[in-house]
Amino acid sequence: MLKVSNLTKRYFKTIALDRVSFEVAEGAITGIIGPNGAGKSTLLEIITGFQNPDEGEIYFNDRPLPAFKEKKEIFSYMPEDLAIYPDYYVGEFISFINDVTRYVNPELIELLNLNPVKNKKIRYLSKGYHQRLKLFFALSNTKKFIVLDEPFDGFDPVQLMEILEFIRSENQKGRTFILSIHQLYDAEKICNHYVLLDEGRVVTTGSIDTLQRRFGEDNSSLEQIFIRALQ
């Protein structure tokens, strides 16, 4: 169980996060959703230890996680702007990750369809394949808690379907996911729990059923729920 308690982050006079609190159950696929500028990336950076909050705490299994060293043992994190060595060939990068982590799952390479581009330089990859390589980087370990910032940018509909199936399969193997997503239609396809964030504040949390009862009707889309929640 991950518990975020009263996280606050300020940049000079701007409040990026304002007393943000929520919980993520083990085995969930939680979507941090909201418009651009809502504070999603800042929140993920604090959870994973790449930034420090001005106030608040992160708890894992009821134990505070104050230090980056402890967080990096728990979380595997893919930032939105992750830069991968552009002059490496894809195959070289895969070998490099293998040398560093001692964990490269051939099934992962196959599922992400990276074999066809192994002999291609990273700088020449399409955005979709670059996203696949970033996912490979984030998942080439045995950590059970995966945090991904905007993982679906750059995919066409077929690629997106493949990646969603891949995340579901990893989730079924026992991995917990936190996904920052600004496209609500994509979030609705994969997540089973949501944290709605706007202007640095938590608007509401819950499953789609819970949010429908709270803000809409049985067939309300996540986008309709979010609009009503902000009114």
**Between these two residues, 163 and 22, which has the higher pLDDT value?**
22
Q: Per residue in 68-94, pLDDT tens?
A: 777 888 899 999 888 788 899 999 999
Which pLDDT score, from 0 to 100, does residue 37 have?
Answer: 85
Q: Is the pLDDT of residue 214 over 90?
A: no
Which pLDDT score, from 0 to 100, does residue 107 have?
Answer: 79
Which pLDDT score, from 0 to 100, does residue 5 have?
Answer: 94
Contacts of 60 (CB under 8 A, 6+ apart): 1, 2, 3, 74
Which of 20-24, 38-42, 45-49, 224-228 is predicted least confidently? 224-228
Q: What is d(CA 33, CA 197) in angstroms, rounded to the nearest whole number? A: 6
Which pLDDT score, from 0 to 100, does residue 119 have?
Answer: 95
Q: What is d(CA 26, CA 2) in angstroms, rounded to the nearest whole number? A: 8
Which pLDDT score, from 0 to 100, does residue 20 have?
Answer: 95
How many percent of the chain have pLDDT more than 90?
42
Which of 59-68, 163-172, 202-211 is predicted least confidently? 59-68
DSSP state of 33: E
Which pLDDT score, from 0 to 100, does residue 67 have?
Answer: 72
Q: Per residue in 148-204, pLDDT tens?
A: 999 888 788 888 888 898 889 889 989 999 999 888 888 989 999 999 999 999 999
Mean of the per-residue pLDDT values for the chain?
Answer: 88
Domain ranges for the chain, please list them: 2-82+143-230
Contacts of 8 (CB under 8 A, 6+ apart): 15, 17, 18, 19, 20, 53, 54, 55, 56
* Residues 153, 48, 189, 223, CA torsion sign: negative
How does strand 176-181 pair with strand 145-149? parallel
Which pLDDT score, from 0 to 100, does residue 176 have?
Answer: 95
Which pLDDT score, from 0 to 100, does residue 231 have?
Answer: 74
Which CATH topology does 2-82+143-230 take?
Rossmann fold (3.40.50)
Q: What is d(CA 52, CA 54) in angstroms, rounded to the nearest whole number? A: 7
Q: Per residue in 86-122, pLDDT tens?
A: 899 999 999 888 888 777 777 788 888 899 999 999 9
